[in-house]
Amino acid sequence: MAHPRLLWAGVALLSAALGLAQFGGSAAFERNPNGKALIETYEIIQEQYLEPIDHERADELLQGGISGIVGALDDPFTSYSPPRNAHIREEDVRGEFFGIGVQIAPANPDGTGAKIVNVFRGGPAFGAGLKTGDVIVEVDGEDVTELPLFDIVAKIRGPKGTQVSIGVRRKGASAVLRFEIVRRKIEIVSVSKAMLPGNVGYVAIETFLNVKVIEQLRKAVTDLKQQGATRLVLDLRDNGGGLLDQGCQVADAFLKRGVIVYTRDRRSTRAYCEASPRTIWDDEMVVLVNGSSASASEIVAGALQDKERAEVVGEQTFGKGVGQNVFTLANGGELTLVTFEWLTPKKRSIHEQGVTPDVEVRDNRFPTPLAFEGLGAEPGAQVTLSTGGKTYTTTADEEGKFSFSEELPPRALSDVQGEAKVDVENDAILKKALELLGAR
């Protein structure tokens, strides 16, 4: 059978490699009429469908069965990853892979396509001339504009020293720009730091989906101490979680004793991890959270709050209080299955509730863009809208319809891995944290 590999705290039947005889041999399938019907359906399709079912098509049918069973649970935190996606996630967890050194996000609202949101200084893509804002349209000559982001990542990554051709659409360029880039080892840096006014050290953890998080955190805090930091801001905003063990180790780095997190499964509730006396920071600190802080982020925030080690500032967190085991299947795919709930040191359940900050402040870093539609104007007429101190002008179409919209500038990210870019003056949550630390 498949075996659990990792404990996750994070945001089909069997595998295509399994034969039909194995389905038939499963007691659960034999006892359940629907199980028998599922096997019969597959056999009938194999034998009677108009077009012959080749091996590749049979794999697709079985993968669809896996996805169907998992989807029927209707659990947003239980999922099946086909072999290619599982391989990418394994690389992310290891904290290194062979690629070109860019950070990408979906280019389209449905999660497809890829646009570059950051190019890391000194990486292969930086040297080749790729830029933040470029939209990737081709990989090795193949159109990728409608592919899922995971598939595009898989095409960009590859063996060390091999070459990949990247075609991008760039604002102001009339044609697709193509770059030949040699893949090399890229380390995923999930922790970034900065020195702020008043001898305040700032550390942001982007994700816990990296076994090197605690190692990177220790180094960042050591560097800040050497630069004279006497107070600390730990920023967990937009951190959707990751590995439970990394969350435990980060909380442990600031606590000297006591249970950090409890886990509750079908059978019992037990202490999962406890703090050890050795810490990396003993002075005053504040933790920042928002509505996208989830899972392992909430473990850290909840533990430091329950232990009164740090004030938590920001927005109500997401509320993902369940964890998963990752089962590696026979085809190389992975089943990520919810198997336990975690509780804070005071045994608070935060699932679908979140961690309530000690000081609530709305996250103002990403304002909602203007989007407005109207009708009833004279066709071709100029329509003006004034709101928020800004004036917008557009032209009504032949039916008298008109719309206003604005595209927000991309979030400013540091192009040096490990170095944070912060906006002290315009970040309301960070400003409040600095006030609490007496640095403003």
| Beta-carbon count within 10 A of 33 CB | 8
| Beta-carbon count within 10 A of 92 CB | 18
Of the residues 235, 252, 306, 363, only one is catalytic, namely 306
CB 225 within 8 A of CB 200: no
Residue of 190, 83, 85 lying closest to 148 (CA atoms): 85
What's the Cα-to-Cα distance from 325 to each of 213, 334, 388, rounded to whole Å? 20, 10, 48
Question: What's the CA gap between 79 and 66, in Å, rounded?
Answer: 10
Question: What's the CA gap between 9 and 240, in Å, rounded?
Answer: 9
Question: What's the CA gap between 380 and 377, in Å, rounded?
Answer: 8
| Contacts of 57 by beta carbon, 8 Å cutoff, 6+ apart | none
Q: Which amino acid is at 396?
A: A
Question: What's the CA gap between 329 and 62, in Å, rounded?
Answer: 13
CB 174 within 8 A of CB 211: no
Question: What's the CA gap between 126 and 181, in Å, rounded?
Answer: 10
What's the Cα-to-Cα distance from 417 to each of 20, 187, 191, 274, rounded to whole Å? 49, 9, 8, 31
Is 421 in the active site?
Answer: no
3-state helix, strand and coil shares in percent for the chain, rounded to the nearest 5: 25, 30, 45
Three-state SS sequence of 327-385:
EECCCCCEEEEEEEEEECCCCCECCCCCCCCCEECCCCCCCCCCEEEECCCCCCCEEEE
Is 306 in the active site?
Answer: yes
Of the residues 115, 155, 212, 320, only one is catalytic, namely 320
Question: What's the CA gap between 321 and 15, in Å, rounded?
Answer: 29
CB 115 within 8 A of CB 134: yes
- Dig out the tokens for 417 from the structure: 């891995």
Give the rounded distance of the alpha carbon of 425 from its chain centre.
27
Of the residues 295, 427, 431, 432, only one is catalytic, namely 295
Is 320 in the active site?
Answer: yes
- Dig out the tokens for 112 from the structure: 């497809």
Residues serving a catalytic function are: 295, 306, 320
